[in-house]
Amino acid sequence: MWEKERLLNFTPRPVIDSRARHRTMIPDEEYQNGHILTSQSLKKLTDAGVSINLGAHGQLQGLGAHWELWMLQQGGMTNQEALACATINGARYLGMDQEIGSLKVGKLADLIVIDGNPLANIQDSEKVEMTMVNGRLYDSATMNEIGNYDVPRSKFYFELPGSGNAWPLMTETGTFMPTQCACQR
């Protein structure tokens, strides 16, 4: 995530650094007994007819939904099943599947345009080129409105003068966080 240019464009670096956990080594069993086991259980529930919904929360902006989508596929769901968890299943759960959750004439126009095919490669979900909200189209790289209106986005609070985002950049790490050892030495 430290190399995700889009994330860095829309989130202050100190926020990313303070919320991110980085491990250089992790035992395989932590993956197997953690999210892999969970996602395998969700696949079994899907096969039994239970509707599973994607629910990204607590992760960094814009990444959690992709991570959870990929996790569902890692546990054995097909890409189509995982994408349904992220779209129509949640709409059905909310009782709003006539308005949202899939593409159909007359439904609300909130959608993303992806450069790639997540049915072929689930990780293409992250390649968002455009975002449509309430029928208004935005360039996802800049969040400038495009299409019917060409409106540049306004500055984020952390881009404004006096926002307090002028922390000293640590030359050793290239971030706003100083280098520190987890062992507290």
Alpha carbon distance 180, 25 (integer Å): 17
pLDDT tens digits, one per residue of 53-107: 998 765 666 778 888 999 999 999 999 999 999 999 999 999 999 999 999 999 9
Please calculate the CA angle 115-120-121 and round it to the nearest 5 degrees. 70
pTM: 0.77
Q: What share of the chain is helix, strand, coil (3-state, %, to 5)?
A: 35, 10, 55
What does each C-alpha distance from 182 to 23, 24, 99, 185 come to in angstroms? 10, 12, 49, 8
Low-confidence ranges of the chain (pLDDT < 50): none
Q: Where are the domains of the chain?
A: 109-152
Q: Are 1 and 7 in contact (CB under 8 A)?
A: yes
